[in-house]
Structure 1
Amino acid sequence: MSVFLSSEQQQELLKITRHWVAEAGQLYSRHFPTPEVRFDLRGQTAGQYRGGDRPCIRYNTGIAAAQFDAFCKRTPPHEVAHYIMDCLHPRKDIKPHGREWRDLMRAYGLEPTRCHDYDLDKVPQRRQRRFTYTCACREHELSATRHNRVQYGKMEYRCTRCGESLRFKS
């Protein structure tokens, strides 16, 4: 059973995102424009911040709809903190979940944890196809992404046991 985020819930998440941006503005005595907010993230990731010329925060509507209250308390401030760190440190001279990010999360009054513990049972999951590869000692299952990297000559994977390059088992 899938769950969907209503337009009212999307508006609430946008309002909450703006709140955390404004809160950071108060903490740093500086104005931060609200980044673009999109509701198009899928899979097991609750939220994502993307920097660059057009900063954007993306939310996973399946996870948000399934556990809306918990999602609103945790995910927007987490992603906004990434955005604020990007504004304050544009040269990427800090780690994504480093001391500066953790300090801001604490200033928000929140625990600076990296990973969520949302129940994903009702959230639609995209599963990648697996491809079988071999080496001298065993078989390996590579995701479609890794398989494509090998096929296009962009990457070579080696067995961690024997050190031999993995070969596609057609």
Structure 2
Amino acid sequence: MKPLRIPIALQQSVMQCLRAKLAQAEAYFDCTFPEPTITYQQRGTSAGTAWLERWEIRLNPQLLLENQQTFIDEVIPHELAHLLVFRQFGRVAPHGREWRWMMSHVLQTPARRTHEFDLTVVRPNTFPYRCGCQQHALTVRRHNRVLRGEAQYRCRRCGDLLQPETTTAGR
């Protein structure tokens, strides 16, 4: 798959937000932090990932292109908060009270754990599965793991084992 090109203006907006939020943290803690490396290599449905030891933020280029300013306003502070929490507190719960505090008090951004971006652009191939209460869409990777007998998945709501939906076409 060919890597997506992120327009330079969009990359500049990402860096502008990152630097502004980093400046807020530096003012709050009265110290300087190194600027994290930004890469556009995140795949799947995650908008971004903070690589703590590498001091790196990986962003999903497809979701960035689809959601531009909302993505920047939400994802950049979210991932930066993970790095700052690691630097200030060490390894703690990923979205625990330290992270929530960093988001709301230091970065002055609502502390939301997950994004609400439309995922159809990053999850085009899914397979229908069913439990006792609803339909689920499993990714190709999870579907193949079920087919090979390597994994089973359960519904978080009812606890039932997910079963592939059988098609009734031709019956």
Instruction: Give the match's secondary structure for 1:114.
Output: coil
**How far off is 1:8 after superposition?**
2.0
Residue identity matched to 1:96: P
1:13 is matched with 14
- 2:99 equivalent to 1:101: yes
Instruction: Give the match's secondary structure for 1:17.
Output: helix
- 1:29-68 matched pairs, under 5 angstroms: 29-52=30-53, 54-68=54-68
1:118 is matched with 117
Q: Highest relative contact order (Cα 8 Å, sep 6+), 1 or 2?
A: 1
CA distance in 2, matches of 1:101, 1:17: 17
Report runs of 4+ in structure 1 exceeding 2 Å deviation: 121-127, 129-132
Instruction: Give the match's secondary structure for 1:130.
Output: helix
> What value does the CA root-mean-square deviation take over the aligned residues?
2.9
Residue identity matched to 1:81: A
**How far off is 1:123 after superposition?**
3.4
Residue identity matched to 1:104: M
1:164 is matched with none
Unaligned runs of 5+ in 1: 133-140, 151-156, 162-170
Identical aligned residues as a percent: 27
Residue identity matched to 1:26: A
Residue identity matched to 1:41: Q
Instruction: Give the match's secondary structure for 1:67.
Output: helix
